[in-house]
Amino acid sequence: MELFRSHVLICAGTGCTSSGSAQLYDRFEELLAQNNLEKEVKLVKTGCFGLCEAGPIVIVYPEGAFYSRITKADVDTIVSEHLVKGRVVAKLLHKDSIEETGNIRALDDIQFYKKQKRIALRNCGVINPENIDEYIAFDGYKALCKVLTEMSREEVIDQIKKSGLRGRGGGGFSTGMKWQFTYNTPNEKKYVACNADEGDPGAFMDRSVLEGDPHTIIEAMAIAGYAVGADQGYIYVRAEYPIAVKRLEIAIEQAREYGLLGEGIFGTDFKFDLDIRLGAGAFVCGEETALIASIEGERGEPRPRPPFPAVKGLFGKPTLLNNVETYANVCQIILNGADWFADMGTEKSKGTKVFALGGKINNTGLVEVPMGTSLKEIIYDIGGGCPNGKKFKAVQTGGPSGGCLPDELIDTPVDYDNLIAAGSMMGSGGMIVMDEDNCMVDIARFFLDFTVDESCGKCTPCRVGTRRMLEILDRITEGKGKDGDIERLESLAYNIKNTALCGLGQTAPNPVISTLKYFRHEYEAHIYDQTCPAGVCTNLLQYSIIPEKCKGCTLCTRVCPVGAISGNLKEPHVIDKSKCIKCGACIEKCKFGAIIKK
């Protein structure tokens, strides 16, 4: 066994890779060779650490030095100072990772991580996802060995049911019951499938698990295959996730080489294998029946249920389908017991939930918290609140199918039932934060525009109804709203919700319904007052110059592309509203805050 005095962990998830972490790794490798440190310092490419805002991230152990926003030049400093001379480079440490005394905080003591509980993300940022030995060193494949050698199929399903694990893909259906239904359906051939078609704007939970810990999905799917009586599995992942796909391919080949996929796993008569199917980016393929059609090579369109996939799924055979995060909890439930998992969370929502925290938030990233953690704790204690001292206005949970919850609901516990009661939903785990500068009518229009574009067009309520809603929202944000538009939006929304074929159509109106519920005054201002309270909708804006603040510097006149601003040097200027195209160039250049929009 190789022993190293230092381990350098470098984030190789998509976020940090896009910021140049691969070049950092190459530079570390080069400098370690130059300093003859290859046998003393171990370089490890890991998955996402979670705190994406601080990337690229490098952590050096055993000191636990959390270096953030590292450049190639910084690598030279870390090697020469930390790895050669043993001196932590304080100026490169993340601002919250060092105490006033100068001591380095443990990762769990950093504000971003304090209230988190990492189960699905337990190995992300810890191990090299392309090395099966590292996964095995962290109890990898121990759960599969346990179920194959010590547990009956019924006992495995019973553990999943008792744990209270609910589907993390959005619906929140009991995972154990879904396994039970598939097990109960008699058939010589059954399948297990994984939904990794993560399509919500701003969501990257499943991608990060696949990139940082692919073996946990392989192991969990093998356990599921044993439990329900399936010998073949499919992972349906979008082709836009090249790093995740590559690491899955590597992990599957490694598992086959180690005899953990294929025939006679752990010396038993159980056989199970996995294949990957790539999706072309259709949002509707996140719906289980559309996903199944796509795997079969058909157009990704949903079909009526029943029959459910547990009865008639892939190739007409019983199929168990769960999403990535759901599977990511399975091995830990088997190893630690159903009661351990059920002790976390709330009465009806057990365990933890992973969220992709984005939008107007200081600590953009991936978080995993116990169910029941409040929105306030996630947004302020973990997320660090809104940047630039802006006031928090709303949070969108559940992606384009979710709802926008206002500031007055900031104390809402995050679980399946409380979010639905508030007018939103858990969804797969997207969480987009908005501040005072966001227009809620425009936000609703943005999400509806996404669902209109992604509708498969199979059913009339979704294909036509959402487009009619979008047309109304377009008119309102363009300053052409009229009396009765709000009522027409509500009527269309509930008709679509009650008649659309699949979950995409049924939940598509949610952003409109929730913003009408909590921000109706903004719709009314757009329609009746011809103003956008947040100053976002261009056609409703009026630019003007405050004479008392204008110094007559002429900067604004020089940047105005249409010559709408006039005035003499050192005298207050004026804007000709008939010429103004509301581009905002003048506001950006004004050094005295003399130009306002309203």
Q: What is the mean pLDDT of residues 405-417?
A: 96
Measured in whole angstroms, the distance separating CA 227 from the mean position of its chain's CA atoms is 29
Residue 512 confidence (pLDDT) above 70: yes
pLDDT computed for residue 509 by the predictor: 94
Q: What is the mean pLDDT of residues 41-58?
A: 96
In order of start, what are the domains of the chain with their CATH numbers? 6-113 (3.40.30.10), 132-342 (3.40.50.11540), 352-435 (3.10.20.600), 440-528 (1.20.1440.230), 542-597 (3.30.70.20)
pLDDT computed for residue 279 by the predictor: 93
Residue 431: C-alpha distances to residues 180, 357, 365, 378 (Å): 31, 5, 10, 10
Q: What is the mean pLDDT of residues 19-43?
A: 96
d(CA 349, CA 164): 7
Residue 538: CA count within 13 A, CB half-sphere: 6
Residue 54 confidence (pLDDT) above 90: yes
Cis peptide bond upstream of 533, omega within 30: no
Angle between helices 214-228 and 142-150 (to 10 degrees): 10
d(CA 500, CA 502): 6
pLDDT computed for residue 200 by the predictor: 83
Measured in whole angstroms, the distance separating CA 468 from the mean position of its chain's CA atoms is 29
CB within 8 Å of 422: residues ≥ 6 apart: 403, 405, 409, 412
The band of 100, judged by pLDDT with boundaries at 50, 70 and 90, is confident
Backbone angles phi, psi at 274, to 5 degrees: -130, 145
pLDDT computed for residue 1 by the predictor: 62
Measured in whole angstroms, the distance separating CA 591 from the mean position of its chain's CA atoms is 38
